[in-house]
Amino acid sequence: MEKILILTANPKNTDKLRLDEEVREIQVSLELAKKREQFEVVSRWALRVDDLPRALLAHEPKIVHFSGHGAGENGLAVENSSGKIQLVSTESLAGLFELFKDKIDCVVLNACYSETQAEAIHQHIDCVVGMNKAIGDRAAIKFAVGFYDALGAGKSYTDAYKFGCNAIRLEGISESLTPVIKIREQPEQSKDVSITQTEVISPVEPIALLNLLKALLPSQFENVVFLYDVDPAYLSLGTAQAQRATEVVRYAKQQEGAALTRLSKVIYEVAPHLLRS
């Protein structure tokens, strides 16, 4: 069983955050997950400096999720004994996580301007997510929901990150590029859809893939766009899905030539029933 340790801090003299809602949504995501028996969630509130190493020692989590305020290069905000802000430096955070590098697989810093800490912690932890600028409450919560929905479905950390960003986009929030991931790729975790080397993915002709893209539900189409990492500059805004599908195929042909194998695999993952029909 993988333990997820959620740490929250919202000092009195900082802006009020909806941390209780975020924690609740993470718990609901995992309680409803297909692989829910594989995860245990532990939360610690009003985090102080001394609480951080104690919580890591006591619970030995695989995943650490911090929700609160970030201060860029100055560190992350926790509480002092009076409940007011105390900053934990980037260097000290990196040093602390180095002591747990054999235990922790992933750290999520759901806090504004936390990319600096993510980069430093990534020296010792294989997967770290941070934010490259300020992020609003709604976007932070939606990212967490998408991330843990995907993780609970057996997705890899990379895919969970993509689903988290896509959840922000689907909500119509213009902050889907704010989360950033630092990762050393490991062998993929189990997927809902397993593509073996001997399995033929058909069809792969551009016109066939175009028709499949047109047949997708809007949410499925957006997932394909996101997972394939289509450059937004190639997509028209406010146009019909049929037009955007044409633009996706055109972009894919520029990226991988006529075979379009990778685009086929992405569509296969998002909507396997279409490629099997």
Q: Render pLDDT for 51-69 as a digit per residue (tens, 0 to 9).
A: 999 999 999 999 999 999 9
Say which residues have a Cβ less than 8 Å from residue 37's Cβ, sequence separation at least 6: 1
What confidence score (pLDDT) does residue 204 get?
A: 63
Which one, of 240, 236, 217, 219, lies nearest residue 163 by Cα? 219
Q: Render pLDDT for 83-134 as a digit per residue (tens, 0 to 9).
A: 999 999 999 999 999 999 999 999 999 999 999 999 999 999 999 999 999 9
Q: Render pLDDT for 83-95 as a digit per residue (tens, 0 to 9).
A: 999 999 999 999 9
This prediction has a pTM of: 0.70
How many CB atoms within 10 Å of residue 60? 12
Write down the residue that tokens 């028996």 correspond to. 37
Quick one: what percent of the chain has pLDDT higher than 90? Answer: 67
Q: Render pLDDT for 216-234 as a digit per residue (tens, 0 to 9).
A: 888 888 888 888 888 877 8
Which one, of 9, 6, 52, lies nearest residue 25 by Cα? 6
